[in-house]
Amino acid sequence: MSVSTQTTASSAAKTFAPAKVARVCVMGLGYVGLPTALLYAQQGLEVQGVDINPQRLEALKSGHLPEGFAEYQDWWQALKTTMSANQPIFEVGDTPAPADAFIIAVPTPFDDTTKHCELSAVESAVRAILPVLAEGNLVVLESTVPPGTTRRHILPLIESTGLVVGESVFLCFCPERVLPGNTQAEMINNDRLVGGVTTTCARLGHQLLSRVVVGGDVFMTDDATAEFCKLAENTYRDVNIAFANQLGLICEAVGADFERVRGFVNKSPGRNVLWAGAGVGGHCIPKDPWLLVHGVPGVDTGLIAAARTLNESMPLHVARLVEQALDEVNIGMHSARLLVLGYSYLEDSDDTRNSPSQSLIEHLKDWGAEVVVHDPWVPDYAVDLWKRAEGAHAAIVMVAHAEYRDLDLARLRGCLRAPVLVDGRQVVDAAAARAAGFVFRGLGRA
């Protein structure tokens, strides 16, 4: 495992020996915190997981994973087989106990109106560990936060105890890396970045993180750089998606086909246009660009804001495509029954956080339509596709699930009351759809 660092100053840790870290406390047992806790426990560390959700704690105490965490079942079962009643490796509770290292992995809720994130959960988690924080401890913040949070918000709270960050206690920011459906591989094999308030903080954070990142490299830097890198990664993705979406909208206007345009452009060296789509979901990308826009006063971040606004508008654009197609068969939106195919935000995943389908459905219902949903991955909507399609006036593909990439178009046409098909993810062959008798509309399609 290679190590890279951008910092040069050095100082010796006074009391903390990373090789002797035996107990880790993970604050927050959500999508990031729970797999983090399980991963450290698997490596033989004693782990306490802390959460304020009583249902989540009760499930874990009774030997079960909470709802929504099925992908960690193999980790959970393996961990349970190694634990004994007399020497538990993993325990949970609502109050932190003394530990060698504390990992903060709580949510930073995003206000969709103000476009700001709320740091109260992070600050509460830090305050909760202060009574048990001891000399030599390491505190690692993994929650995604605006630039400067570690140094401006977390450091003063820790030093209110009389401990001095960088001398008697150590503080890092380590961006989380979680992709629903592939979290285990990502956490073990992806390169990770740890930013320390001091070089010693970074080194101690690196040594702790290296206990679990066995297939990737752990790089060291300062806290400000690490905070910014996390936001820059997701903003880069968002801006590139927005560019693809802009091209898709232009293709519709000029009569070009986005799939062909993309294919030809990407034949040029150094070009990699992404796929246009019906919106961007998930926990990170819809939020993180706004943390940059509002987190760096005095800097013109208009490009980032424009990209985010465009991506947020895509479900509305799909709704307009539906309206246009219904008009062609003389059906008003107020009398239409519409089938939305896909409710998760990511293909072949059950994660529905900030799904573009949610926004689309709101628009369609606001315009008077009745909406039914199918999604083979989301339990509430994992019903028989063909029964759900019966009587609908239109089908709208919103997620590129494998099941929708190979739709039986003739059978779908036979189930629908009207021959309308709208593709928001470019998974339907337009010529085949029209040959099957559909009035077809697609994002970026001529």
In the DSSP assignment, the letter for residue 402 is H
345 is in which domain, residue-wise? 304-442
pLDDT digits (tens, 9 = 90+) for 129-168: 999 999 999 999 999 999 999 999 999 999 999 999 999 9
Over range 190-219, report the average pLDDT: 95
Co-location of 33 and 174 in the same domain: yes
Question: Which of 110-114, 176-180, 248-252 shows the lowest mean pLDDT across its residues?
Answer: 176-180
CATH number of the domain bearing residue 186? 3.40.50.720
Nearest-angstrom CA–CA distance, 133 and 3: 29
Q: Which listed residue (117, 172, 201, 230) is catalytic?
A: 230
Of the residues 199, 216, 233, the one at which a domain ends:
216
160-194 pLDDT, tens digit per residue, is 999 999 999 999 999 988 776 778 888 888 999 99
205 and 324 housed in the same domain: no
d(CA 8, CA 126) in angstroms, rounded, equals 28
Pair 377, 398: CB distance under 8 Å: no
Question: Helix, strand, coil: what percent of the chain each, to 5?
Answer: 45, 15, 45
Give the number of domains in the chain: 2
Q: Which residues contact 249 (CB under 8 A, 6 or more apart)?
A: 317, 444
pTM of the model: 0.88
| Annotation marks residue 230 as catalytic | yes
Catalytic residue among 284, 287, 365, 415: 284
d(CA 442, CA 446): 8
Q: Please indicate, yes or no, whether residues 191 and 331 belong to a single structural domain of this protein.
A: no
Whether 273 maps to a domain, the answer reads: no
To the query of whether residue 284 is one of the catalytic residues in this protein, the response is: yes
Residue type, 378: V
Same domain, 328 and 437: yes
d(CA 405, CA 393): 20
